[in-house]
Amino acid sequence: MIRNTFKKAERLTNKRIFESIFESGKSISVFPFKLIWIETNTTSPTPLSLRSGVVGEAQLGISVPKKSFAKAVDRNTIKRRIRESYRKNKHSLYEMLKEKNLSIALMIIYISKEELPYQEIEKKMIVSLQKVQEIINV
């Protein structure tokens, strides 16, 4: 049985990886998200591949703009909903990454101006992850 966890190793914390995502990452937009990611092979000596040596995993960063949501409570609620929907639906992405022998660093930016309910966020997260998989498979 697959466990739905979101471990510390899956969090995007390295500043160099953040910078490289925004400098040279691929991106797609699926309202209410903008996803930006970079791929790394296990053979290339990049910070992502050196972090743990784990193949077929993704590191995730989530951003909710302060400009759209002034209160930290609202930003944190949205981030919690995004993290939970990712945690429950990441397994197909992980299986594909393992087959391709890749790891990715993924940044999710919430671009909506209003707070959406969890069910809608989860539906859009599934669509977003499927689109990322399609682009990586090409």
Question: CA nearest 114: which of 56, 45, 65, 55?
Answer: 65
30, two tokens: 């699926």
Residues 6 or more apart whose Cβ sits within 8 Å of residue 11? 59, 60, 61
**How many domains is the chain built from?**
1
Q: What is the pLDDT of residue 57?
A: 85
Q: Confidence band (pLDDT; 50, 70, 90) for 4?
A: confident
Q: Is residue 3 a part of any domain in this protein?
A: no
Interval 6-48: pLDDT, tens: 888 999 999 999 999 999 999 999 999 999 999 976 555 454 4
Q: What is the CATH number of the domain that holds 36?
A: 3.30.230.10
Q: Which residues span the domain enclosing 81?
A: 8-137
Q: State phi, psi for 28 to the nearest 5 degrees.
A: -140, 160
Q: Is residue 66 a part of any domain in this protein?
A: yes
How many C-beta atoms lie closer than 10 Å to residue 117's C-beta? 8
Interval 37-83: pLDDT, tens: 999 765 554 544 444 445 568 999 999 999 999 999 999 999 999 99
Q: Is residue 92 a part of any domain in this protein?
A: yes
- Contact call for residues 59 and 105 (beta carbons, < 8 A): yes
